[in-house]
Amino acid sequence: MSGLKNDLLLKALKKEPVSRPPVWMMRQAGRYLPDYIKLRDKYDFFTRVQTPELATEITLQPVNQVGVDAAIIFSDILVIPQAMGVEVLMEEGKGPSLPKTIKTKKDIDALNTENAAEHLKYVLDALTLTKKELNGLVPLICFAGAPWTIFCYMIEGKGSKTWDKAKQFAYTEPGLAHQLLQKITAITIDYLKAQTKAGADCVQVFDSWAGSLSPEDFKTFAQPYLTQIADAVKDDAPVILFPKGTWYALEDLSKSSASAIGLDWTVSPKQARAFTNNNITLQGNFDPAKLLAPIPQIKQWVKEMIDDFGAQKYIANLGHGITPNVPVDHAKAFVEAVKEYA
């Protein structure tokens, strides 16, 4: 970890004093950058993910063009189902689909949970190459999807607003649901550990669909697996947990082994600090849609956000991924506003 020219992110994760908060953006490597669109027009999605040179090039774009304080590897959360033997298709503009969903115990028993590093070697190769290219400029973040979110895709077969099928499976077949969640957890832990060996300075676990669960059901089907991952990986690298839409779990999660919790915009900075007793680093929670506002307004809102969170034990970020319609100079303005914070 030494030898970094910019270690603000790692300092914030260790709760060490910083001159200003570090800043990066979820989905910063991708859809809103013209140079990314050129590559997208040339290569299909999984070619971009599975070719280390392309993944590295895409990962470096926002570091060089937007000025963020960390790189996050260009990949996808659905590489885990692929490694488990499930087909994943990705259609531009339509999102993912999994033609063969998990329905029975036999389907779950047939899933592979071994050799994550072998199956996902292309991600690890991209990490190693990116680390070399970064040459200590900023830390490198790697990530995985959380078990509940991956479970949702594997049962549902595609994106959903309500995740009815996934929830029905969890509620009617809880034993099988936990068997599947545990399998996903096991391979995810191996994958994250392999990432840290390949050069990731910290890891983030995206639980994008956690907010579809009630507080009680989150405690049953999501939280135990998030906690298990944080416990298993904490000695390898700092862990950021991002269970979107679960402000009600902040107090519990603040007592976990995670180094930070990512927040969406449904909780205010002051509430989040109160729920977590100010004893963990918080990350977020700017609404990406606000990046479409005029630049002076963006800068004003960013300043207010940092004022509310406080500059220490805080990582400036969005409350979810940056959207494709955000102008690059607006993304830059967000980053600059954090860098200008005094």
Run of H or E residues at 167: helix 164-172
pLDDT at 94 over 90: no
According to the model, what pLDDT value does residue 2 have?
54
Report cis status (omega within 30 of 0) of the bond before 112.
no
Alpha-carbon distance 31 to 34, whole Å? 8
Alpha-carbon distance 172 to 62, whole Å? 44
27 is in an annotated binding site: yes
28 is in an annotated binding site: yes
289 is in an annotated binding site: no
Q: At how many degrees (to 10) do helices 121-134 and 52-65 cross?
A: 40
According to the model, what pLDDT value does residue 338 have?
98
Please pick, among 76, 107, 231, 236, the residue that the annotation labels catalytic: 76
Q: What is the pLDDT of residues 62-74, one digit of tens each?
A: 999 999 999 999 9
Catalytic residue list contains 48: no
Please pick, among 27, 207, 314, 341, the residue that the annotation labels catalytic: 27
Alpha-carbon distance 176 to 196, whole Å? 31
Q: Which residues have a Cβ under 8 Å from the Cβ of 145 and sit 6 or more positions away?
A: 77, 78, 80, 188, 205, 206, 207, 208
CA distances from 127 to 49, 132, 200 (A): 11, 9, 7
Arch. (CATH architecture) of 8-339? Alpha-Beta Barrel (3.20)
In the chain, pLDDT over 90 holds for what percent of residues?
97
Q: What is the pLDDT of residues 7-57, one digit of tens each?
A: 999 999 999 999 999 999 999 999 999 999 999 999 999 999 999 999 999
Q: What is the pLDDT of residues 272-311, one digit of tens each?
A: 999 999 999 999 999 999 999 999 999 999 999 999 999 9
Domain range annotation of the chain: 8-339
Catalytic residue list contains 273: no
What DSSP state is assigned to residue 41?
H
- What confidence category does residue 1 fall into, taking pLDDT thresholds of 50, 70 and 90? very low
Please pick, among 153, 225, 314, 341, the residue that the annotation labels catalytic: 153
Alpha-carbon distance 337 to 342, whole Å? 10
- What confidence category does residue 167 fall into, taking pLDDT thresholds of 50, 70 and 90? very high
30 is in an annotated binding site: yes
273 is in an annotated binding site: no
Average predicted confidence (pLDDT) for the chain: 97
262 is in an annotated binding site: no
Q: What is the pLDDT of residues 235-279, one digit of tens each?
A: 999 999 999 999 999 999 999 999 999 999 999 999 999 999 999
107 is in an annotated binding site: no
- What confidence category does residue 172 fall into, taking pLDDT thresholds of 50, 70 and 90? very high
